[in-house]
A and B are shown apart, each in its own frame.
Chain A
Amino acid sequence: QVQLVESGGGVVQPGKSLRLSCAASGFTLSSYGLHWVRQTPVKGLEWVAVISNHGTIKFYADSVKGRFTISRDNSKNMLYLEMNSLRGEDTAVYYCARCGGDCNSVSAAIDYWGQGTLVTVSS
């Protein structure tokens, strides 16, 4: 069955960096695009970034553009989110989620979600 397992969350000081990972299993990773979505009690669900199945297409939310980098390693069945210059407003639960297609275009809905990993940005 499809499984997405995030890791790498924790407490980090403002201005520092953190890398999240998402281990995928139960499907052929190279056939699917992948998203990062975050959630806070105040702002709700917020889409962060997407990467197409072969990593050639990437889009970011304006709130993270220039600070976060999404990447993937299909040979290792892994998705990553490199987060730099972290701010308090980046505090959230971060989910990886599978695009229902290759995500080379937008036209596929999210079909599976990981369980999430909590990132807390605080001094």
Chain B
Amino acid sequence: DIQMTQSPSSLSASVGDRVTITCRASQGIGSYLAWFQQKPGKAPKSLIFAASSLQSGVSSKFSGSGSGTDFTLTISSLQPEDFATYYCQQYYSYPLTFGGGTKVEIK
């Protein structure tokens, strides 16, 4: 199975900050990488697919980059509604696997 490792597991940031989250795959996955946002008590929401493509309706303040084993999610200017937990997921091969999540909290 492909292991997905996110860092950091949590971070504190202020409104307006630029935030970057990292995801590393245990083997090369090309660009078969998705990012999800989850707020407490809610279902995940799809943000990015193919490592850098925004899902329909997702704000352009979110951006993704990377290929192979190393990926990043960047939020350009953190807003109150962005405080949530973010997950990466590979869909290069089954079983699909998720990272452990990065909780973005208010400083």
Contacts and interface: CB of A to CB of B under 8 A. Distances in A.
B100 A109 contact: no
Given A47-B98, A95-B44, A110 B92 contact: no
A112 interface: yes
A25 B96 CA distance: 25
A61 B100 CA distance: 17
A70 B94 CA distance: 15
Nearest to A116: B43
Given A107-B91, A108-B91, A109-B91, A44 B98 contact: yes
Interface residues of B, number: 24
A47 B50 CA distance: 18
A115 interface: yes
Given A109-B49, A109-B50, A113-B44, A59 B95 contact: yes
Interface in A10-64: 35, 37, 44-47, 50, 59, 61-62
A47 B89 CA distance: 10
A100 B50 CA distance: 11
* Residue from A45, A50, A95, A110 having most chain B Cβ neighbours under 10 A: A45
Contacts of A46: 98
A112 B46 contact: yes
A94 B93 CA distance: 21
B55 interface: yes
Contacts of A109: 32, 34, 46, 49-50, 89, 91
User: Top 3 nearest A-B pairs by Cβ distance?
Assistant: A109-B49, A47-B96, A109-B34
Given A47-B94, A47-B96, A111-B49, 10 more contacts: A44-B87, A44-B101, A45-B98, A95-B44, A106-B92, A106-B96, A109-B49, A111-B55, A113-B44, A115-B43
